[in-house]
Amino acid sequence: MPPDTTDETRFLNRELSWLDFNARVLALAEDQARPLLERAKFLAIFAGNLDEFFQVRVSGLQEQVAAGLRTRSPDGLDPATALRSIREQVRSLVDRQSTVFTKEIAPELEEAGICFPEWGELADDDRAELARVFAERVYPVLTPLAVDPAHPFPYISNLSLNLAVVVEDPATGETRFARVKVPPTLPRFVALPDDERFVALEQLIAAHLDRLFPGMVIVAHHPFRVTRDVDFELDDEDEDLLEAIESVLHRRRKGAQAVRLEVDTSMTDEVLTVLCRELELAPASVVTVDGPLDLSGLWDVYALDRPELKDEPWTGRTDARLTATEDQPVDLFRVLRAGDVLVHHPYDSFATSVEAFVRQAAVDPHVLAIKQTIYRTAGAESAIVGSLVDAAREGKQVVALVELKARFDEQANIERARSLEEAGVHVVYGLVGLKTHAKILLIVRQEEDGIRRYCHVGTGNYNTQTATLYEDLGLLSADEKLGDDLTELFNHLTGYSRPTQYRRLIVAPEEMRGALRARIQAEAAKGASGRIVLKMNSLVDPTLIDELYDASNAGTQIDLIIRGVCCLRPQVPGFSDHIRVRSIVGRYLEHSRIYRFGTDDVEAEYLIGSADWMPRNLDRRVEALVPVTAPNLKVRLAEILTVDLADDVLAWDLGSDGTWRKVDTVRGVETHERFRELATERAQVRG
């Protein structure tokens, strides 16, 4: 029987769905058709993803359990039950991770000349070389910490790799426990002189423990790693947001509760008992890894100059409309006055579109002001940040709305905010209680016929680095109404004003939820002639999911392209028959959000922007969606969705039982390959 609208089985669990996504990432590492170092890279991504999951999601559930909360999530699981399911699934995933590394990737890398030898397998000259490295680079930064009545158990920092060492005093026969932290400032894997053989740093330290504990007998040593809660909440009453963020970062480093202990199979029960007791962790929080801990260190191996073991490099193409000629550079303002431009990264170059847009504005003497949101940048070397600094020094009015609460980028954004302020940029931090996630840019220019505004609204960050790895969209426009809207939105974010009625933009938290519901209901009212196609990172919001169920029951055809978390249960007879869910996971991180309502490719409404369908995006963030109205650009968006729905190489389908299954390859349509072909064609033909 299909679930009814009061039945919790109509939702899938958010945390378990996220683990399903990371399992799809792990499947890329298991894919033997991929280049070897790309497989190693996906192992590193999988490991980093799992770290963040424990730091944020698992820590939150453990806090609820500790507080005695039994409130059930929309899928019906209480925190304790969810944790049990998570731990079971994590054990299975970690076993797969260890197997693919130790049984497949490491042996195949060895065949390619890239080896991970154990200390006991090294020749004498190799050991001598590593002993020199230890003495010069490692030993000076090590600090052995004893644990005894005079030395309390040391604080184990988040994500740190450590050695638990048991030593014996030969004079008294007494055994003692000590901890040695593996320095995070050193490479995870130490390269031998040939740069193709790597020894795990903890093995190098373990082989020289006699230098750290002279006169003692080394009884045993075991690697372990601790993960802590980093999801501290801000007090919205804090007047100085910068100071509040720095306080959170300090608490994150010094006072966070442990949520996971990773050990390898050599760990003894005695040492494990000590660690669990001192870290205040239950045995259920221990993850045993049959292989090296912290495979995120494989990024160092991926950095090797071995192009034959990697994907062929891709350089984003420049749309013919944005291409300079031999006679003169492209004038982006002139191009936008002739019509909107849609850029699709990484297939379309970020440097020759968005970066060039800001750069031209920075040096153009007719530009009066530049206003931009900054969520995650590429660091001090960011070309866009450099352009904003140059514009301010040229006397332009430059406003940067820096989101200090961008998780894991808080410190970088604090540094960015200070450097911008020093250059004369007006830096603001957004609205109290709301995270500014919208990706918006406004340029105000004095022209012969008056003031004209140029705009960019995107789905991804203004980040040069991620623009080559993340799939994202951006709309460049000189549309007058959109310019009015962005002016109003920036004024709302930087000054004192009530939210306004926008003419083009759909803004959260004021109106986005209602606007999306209205559009779903409008398609549902058409019955079988209605059509909805949604592409996003995460679909979690129960209210909008129920609206999609209602539309399906009305006969509306619905296709969902969800990269990560999906709490909707599709293809349930009599309930969600007309909803299909798929996920594209491959070389590039699918990150764009495209929302299509309507059947005809040109007549349909298309919205793009920064907001996923999650309560936090709709209710607790400043988000912006922009309609794409130009017929030629609507055709582009329809083409993107068509390719995504046709993919049978990277795609996974979600079944009614909540299980993701790899789509069988029949036609060989590979999304990322096809978009590279289309970008190359656009670069050659003027539109």
Is pLDDT at 495 greater than 70 in this prediction?
yes
Residue 40 structure tokens: 């190693």
Q: What is the mean pLDDT of residues 16-36?
A: 97
Q: What is the mean pLDDT of residues 141-167?
A: 88
Between residues 271 and 5, the one the model is more confident about: 271
* 221 is known as an active-site residue: no
Selection from 484, 294, 462 nearest residue 385 by Cα:
462
Is pLDDT at 359 greater than 50 in this prediction?
yes
Q: Which range, of 150-159, 269-278, 573-582, averages the lowest pLDDT?
A: 150-159
Contact 650, 586 (CB under 8 A): yes
Q: What are phi and psi of 180, to 5 degrees?
A: -120, 120
The confidence score (pLDDT) of residue 233 equals 53
Is pLDDT at 114 greater than 80 in this prediction?
yes
pLDDT band of residue 434 (cuts 50, 70, 90) is confident
The confidence score (pLDDT) of residue 424 equals 87
Q: What is the mean pLDDT of residues 576-584?
A: 97
- CATH 1.20.58.310 domain locations along the chain: 7-116
Cα distance between residue 348 and residue 354, in whole Å: 10
Cα distance between residue 660 and residue 328, in whole Å: 52
Is pLDDT at 563 greater than 90 in this prediction?
yes
Q: What is the mean pLDDT of residues 289-301?
A: 92
Question: What's the CATH architecture for 506-684?
Answer: 2-Layer Sandwich (3.30)
* 617-622-623 Cα angle (round to 5): 65
Is pLDDT at 587 greater than 60 in this prediction?
yes
CATH class of 320-494: alpha beta
The confidence score (pLDDT) of residue 194 equals 86
What's 330-368 look like in SS3? CCHHHHHHHCCEEEEECCECCHHHHHHHHHHHHHCCCEE
The confidence score (pLDDT) of residue 506 equals 97
Between residues 120 and 416, the one the model is more confident about: 120
CATH of domain 121-291: 3.30.1840.10
592-646 residue pLDDT tens: 999 999 999 999 999 999 999 999 999 999 999 999 999 999 999 999 999 999 9
Residue 6 structure tokens: 């009061």
Q: What is the mean pLDDT of residues 73-85?
A: 93
Three-state DSSP class for residue 644: helix
Single out the catalytic residue among 222, 345, 437, 578. Answer: 437
Residue 430 structure tokens: 């957004």
The confidence score (pLDDT) of residue 256 equals 78
Cα distance between residue 503 and residue 517, in whole Å: 18
Q: Calculate the average pLDDT of the chain.
A: 91
Q: What is the mean pLDDT of residues 364-383?
A: 83
The confidence score (pLDDT) of residue 379 equals 60
Cα distance between residue 352 and residue 341, in whole Å: 13
Cα distance between residue 321 and residue 335, in whole Å: 7
Contact 648, 663 (CB under 8 A): yes
Cα distance between residue 290 and residue 519, in whole Å: 50
The confidence score (pLDDT) of residue 496 equals 65
* 671-316-335 Cα angle (round to 5): 110
51-71 residue pLDDT tens: 999 999 999 999 889 888 888
- CATH 3.30.870.10 domain locations along the chain: 320-494, 506-684
Between residues 211 and 686, the one the model is more confident about: 211
Between residues 225 and 376, the one the model is more confident about: 225
Q: What are phi and psi of 17, to 5 degrees?
A: -65, -35
CATH of domain 7-116: 1.20.58.310
59 Cβ partners below 8 Å, 6+ apart? 228, 229, 230, 231, 256, 257, 259
Between residues 425 and 335, the one the model is more confident about: 335
Task: Supply the Cα-derived Rg of the chain in whole angstroms.
Answer: 27
Judging by DSSP bridges, how do beta strands 258-264 and 660-662 pair with one another? unpaired
Q: Which range, of 71-80, 397-406, 445-454, averages the lowest pLDDT?
A: 397-406
Q: What is the mean pLDDT of residues 423-427?
A: 86
Highest mean pLDDT among 371-385, 428-442, 499-513: 499-513
Three-state DSSP class for residue 47: helix
Q: What is the mean pLDDT of residues 108-118?
A: 92
- CATH 3.30.1840.10 domain locations along the chain: 121-291
652-677 residue pLDDT tens: 999 999 999 999 999 999 999 999 99
The confidence score (pLDDT) of residue 4 equals 66
The confidence score (pLDDT) of residue 458 equals 97
Cα distance between residue 359 and residue 370, in whole Å: 11
234-263 residue pLDDT tens: 444 444 545 554 554 444 455 579 999 999
Q: Which range, of 175-184, 213-222, 244-253, 361-370, averages the lowest pLDDT?
A: 244-253
